[in-house]
């Protein structure tokens, strides 16, 4: 320890102090440039006169509807894809688990936080997907961060889809591995990159998502499996939005393509969407799960998933097994919404029949005004504004659920196209 300490001291002292330029100290958040940028953006938004679209308070369970300010709205802004949050069996399972185990497991599972339902849910997820085993973590974001951050490091390479979620990018940064995005869904470009540089790295981890949560398109997993096999790389698929929504029974991308789930090295998913809970999982081989169980920092040094959350996810998956028609209904509703948008001439980008359907306005202010007008009609949908996406890609993002009625869908698309035409006219006229 002394030697290590000395090395650090010597290298820190190696650069003469005089060479370091003096910087203005910042000891209050108000001084941070990023805070001032945030304030400027908020002020700009305020100047439009449209209310802040963030942190809206929802006073009810959110599925096909929500309650805001005491008023019921049709909701297209929740991940409750299968209506499992609020399902009586799921709520009851969570309440029973609290009665039996309390509200916290009060320790890391490794030491004394292990409950019977942890293992039950892990086995259920593995069986549902078709792999050996799985491991639960307390947050979906944390699952990506800690797993990616832990499995690769210096001397390794991460190649991820250009549209990968923030949790994947953060995990990659944490890992210390070299990180390179490849063009969205472009397995041929990935193949070319690997042919060129694979030999320079020990481990190569390719990361894609099942369904992409901004655009509603999905990944050609079999092609990525072929590439990863060709180059002896590992493939990780984030199923946050495909678990419960893709495949006949909602088992995800492996079921959708009819492939052997074991051909993907790492399946990741979140329990905050179709599974009506929160937390994440990693599913795959026994060796992968065993390594993570004993060594992944975000698992070992973090409390176990709370009983209510575990029981809710378990009940949601069991309910899905009993009621697979929910997945069919979700698909049918999503396809109807997409078709109606296309018939109305709305720009739905790359959306491909998944429950994520953007309506691209190409202008943040139009997206903001459109969402506000829809709220006036009793429809809640979130605008996605610059800088979350490029200004030209500003949009409303509709999330469908199996609980939406055809009538709700027809009404929403009709109102959207009505207001967009009006706003479009106003924009063109004022230009
Ligand atoms: N991965 C993807 C692709 C996501 O979209 C999200 C969040 N929506 C996460 C991971 C993080 O999941 P959670 O919200 O459950 O933390």
3-state secondary structure of 93: helix
- In order, the DSSP letters of 182-215 are ESTT-HHHHHHHHHHHGGG-S-EEEEEESB-TTT
Q: Which domains does the chain have, with CATH numbers?
A: 54-81+324-430 (3.90.1150.10), 88-322 (3.40.640.10)
In the predicted model, residues of the chain with pLDDT beneath 50 are 1-10, 425, 427-431
Q: Pick from 272, 254, 276: which is nearest to 263 by CA? A: 254
Q: Pick from 268, 278, 284: which is nearest to 313 by CA? A: 278
What is the rounded end-to-end Cα distance, in angstroms, of the chain?
68
Q: Is the predicted ipTM greater than 0.95, yes or no? A: yes
Top mutation candidate among 140, 142, 164, 355 for ligand 1, by most atoms within 8 Å of CB: 140
Distance 140 CA to ligand 1 centre (A): 5
Range 230-253 burial, b when 16+ CB lie within 10 A, else e: ebebbbbbbbbbbbbbbbeebbbb
Report the alpha-carbon distance of residue 193 to residue 287 in Å, rounded: 29
Helices (H), 258-405: 286-295, 297-300, 307-322, 325-343, 364-376
Which residues lie below 8 Å from residue 234, measured CB to CB, with a gap of 6+?
A: 151, 203, 204, 205, 206, 228, 265, 266
Q: Is 144 in the pocket of ligand 1 (CB under 6 A)?
A: yes
| Bridge partners, 236 (sequence order) | 207, 266
- Tokens found for residue 70: 């005491």
Q: Is 238 in the pocket of ligand 1 (CB under 6 A)?
A: yes
- CA-closest residue to ligand 1 atom 4: 240
Q: Is 167 in the pocket of ligand 1 (CB under 6 A)?
A: yes
| Nearest-atom index, ligand 1, CA of 144 | 10
Q: Is 209 in the pocket of ligand 1 (CB under 6 A)?
A: yes
Contact 354, 218 (CB under 8 A): yes
pLDDT at position 130 is 98
Contact 210, 241 (CB under 8 A): yes
Top mutation candidate among 240, 276, 356 for ligand 1, by most atoms within 8 Å of CB: 240
Distance 303 CA to ligand 1 centre (A): 19
Distance 276 CA to ligand 1 centre (A): 13
pLDDT at position 424 is 77
**Residue 186, exposed/middle/buried by CB under 10 A (0-12, 13-18, 19+)?**
middle
Q: Is 137 in the pocket of ligand 1 (CB under 6 A)?
A: no
**Residue 281, exposed/middle/buried by CB under 10 A (0-12, 13-18, 19+)?**
buried
pLDDT digits (tens, 9 = 90+) for 255-313: 999 999 999 999 999 999 999 999 999 999 999 999 999 999 999 999 999 999 999 99
| Bridge partners, 211 (sequence order) | 218
- CA-closest residue to ligand 1 atom 14: 140
pLDDT digits (tens, 9 = 90+) for 163-200: 999 999 999 999 999 999 999 999 999 999 999 999 99
Q: Are strands 133-137 and 65-68 parallel, antiparallel or unpaired?
A: unpaired
- CA-closest residue to ligand 1 atom 8: 240
Q: Is 80 in the pocket of ligand 1 (CB under 6 A)?
A: no
Q: Is 272 in the pocket of ligand 1 (CB under 6 A)?
A: yes
| Nearest-atom index, ligand 1, CA of 273 | 15
Q: Is 373 in the pocket of ligand 1 (CB under 6 A)?
A: no
Q: Pick from 174, 170, 144: which is nearest to 236 by CA? A: 144
- CA-closest residue to ligand 1 atom 16: 140
Residue 218 has what DSSP assignment?
Answer: B
Which residues lie below 8 Å from residue 130, measured CB to CB, with a gap of 6+?
A: 251, 254, 255, 260, 261, 262
């Amino acid at each position: 320890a002394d030697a290590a300490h000395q090395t650090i001291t010597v290298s820190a002292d190696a650069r003469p102090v005089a060479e370091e330029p003096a910087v203005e100290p910042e000891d209050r958040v108000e001084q941070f440039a990023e805070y001032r940028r945030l304030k400027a953006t908020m002020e700009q938004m305020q100047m439009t006169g449209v209310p802040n679209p963030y942190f809206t308070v929802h006073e009810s369970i959110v599925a096909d509807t929500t309650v805001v300010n005491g008023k019921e709205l049709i909701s297209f802004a929740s991940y409750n894809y299968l209506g499992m949050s609020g399902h009586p069996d799921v709520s009851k399972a969570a309440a029973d688990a609290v009665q039996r185990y309390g509200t916290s497991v009060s320790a890391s599972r490794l030491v004394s936080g292990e409950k019977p339902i942890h293992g039950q849910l892990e086995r259920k997820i593995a069986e549902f997907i078709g792999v050996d085993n799985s491991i639960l973590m307390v947050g979906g974001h944390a699952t990506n961060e800690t797993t990616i951050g832990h499995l690769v490091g210096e001397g390794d390479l991460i190649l991820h889809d250009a549209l990968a979620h923030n949790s994947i990018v953060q995990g990659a940064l944490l890992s210390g591995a070299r990180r390179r995005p490849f063009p969205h869904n472009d397995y041929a470009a990935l193949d070319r990159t690997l042919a060129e540089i694979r030999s320079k790295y020990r481990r190569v981890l390719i990361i894609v998502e099942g369904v992409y949560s901004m655009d509603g398109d999905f990944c050609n997993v079999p092609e990525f499996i072929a590439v990863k096999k060709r180059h002896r790389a590992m493939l990780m698929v984030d199923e946050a939005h495909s678990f419960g929504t893709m495949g006949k029974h909602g088992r995800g991308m492996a079921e959708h393509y009819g492939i052997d789930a074991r051909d993907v090295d790492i399946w990741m998913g979140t329990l905050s969407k179709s599974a009506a809970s929160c937390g994440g999982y990693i599913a795959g081989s026994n060796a992968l799960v065993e390594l993570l169980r004993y060594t992944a920092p975000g698992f070992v040094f973090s409390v176990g998933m709370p009983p209510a959350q575990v029981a809710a996810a378990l009940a949601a998956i069991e309910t899905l097994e009993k009621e697979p028609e929910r997945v069919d209904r979700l698909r049918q509703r999503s396809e109807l919404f997409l078709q109606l948008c296309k018939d109305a001439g709305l720009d739905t980008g790359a959306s491909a029949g998944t429950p994520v359907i953007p309506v691209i306005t190409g202008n943040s202010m139009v997206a903001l005004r459109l969402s506000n007008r829809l709220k006036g009609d009793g429809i809640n949908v979130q605008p996605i504004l610059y800088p979350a996406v490029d200004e030209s890609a500003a949009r409303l993002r509709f999330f469908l659920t199996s609980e939406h009625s055809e009538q709700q869908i027809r009404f929403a698309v009709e109102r959207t196209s009505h207001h967009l035409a009006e706003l479009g006219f106003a924009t063109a006229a004022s230009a």
